Chains A and B, each alone.
Chain A
């Protein structure tokens, strides 16, 4: 099993450009999450999904959109990139098992917006 994978690993965008980050998991997990990681801020939840076709806002959703058309994929979109969106983006998935929601993380995508 590959676990949680993210595409791409690195990306440089110019202000105003758009892009989509892809997260895929092969563990048949119901829940998926997108975080951004910034120095001194830890991980902040952008959006999450509790099942195919459903999404919800997290702590910092502005400037991002998501879609969960297939259970195994969770897409994060930036319609008009801004320098404030320079960050490392992590995807995670989880599934309740014996009452716990342990999260499995992807390797991250480093995004720079100039």
Chain B
């Protein structure tokens, strides 16, 4: 069965510190992985997708098929990064599986 785990419910870091949000998945095929972000009282929006290998707002994520992980990283956290972050796995558009989410709090 497809599953996405995010072991941290809450992650607090100080402004300027590095941040890593962990995501592990279980899937038998070749998944499409995403990171979505939800700022306070806003809708979910796409942050990153693994196939595009891009950096958005300073965040990067690398798909590690051996460890079945897709961790989200940023070298220097900013207060405006405080939000809920969801890792998601897609099975050819027909079934999205989201992780439980990690709330990132960046302290001044």
Q: Do A and B bind each other?
A: yes
Closest residue of chain B to A99 (Cβ to Cβ) is: B51
CB distance from A10 to the nearest CB of B (A): 13
Asked whether B94 lies within 8 Å of A48 as measured between CB atoms, the reply is: yes
With a cutoff of 8 Å between Cβ atoms, the chain A residues found around residue B45 in the complex are 105
* Complex Cα–Cα for A104 and B86 (A): 14
Chain A count of residues within 8 A CB distance of the other chain? 28
The count of residues in chain B whose C-beta lies closer than 8 Å to any C-beta of chain A is 26
A28 to chain B, nearest CB (A): 15
Tell whether, in the assembled complex, residue A108 and residue B43 are in contact, meaning their CB atoms are under 8 Å apart.
yes
Closest to B44 in A: A105
14 A-B pairs, CB-CB below 8 angstroms?
A: A31-B94, A42-B101, A45-B95, A45-B96, A50-B93, A50-B94, A90-B43, A94-B93, A100-B49, A101-B92, A102-B46, A103-B96, A105-B44, A107-B42
Residues of A within 8 A of B (CB): 31, 33, 35, 40-45, 48, 50, 56, 58-59, 90, 92, 94, 96, 99-108
Contacts from B to A (Cβ < 8 Å): 6, 9, 32, 34, 36, 42-46, 49, 51-52, 86, 88, 90, 92-101
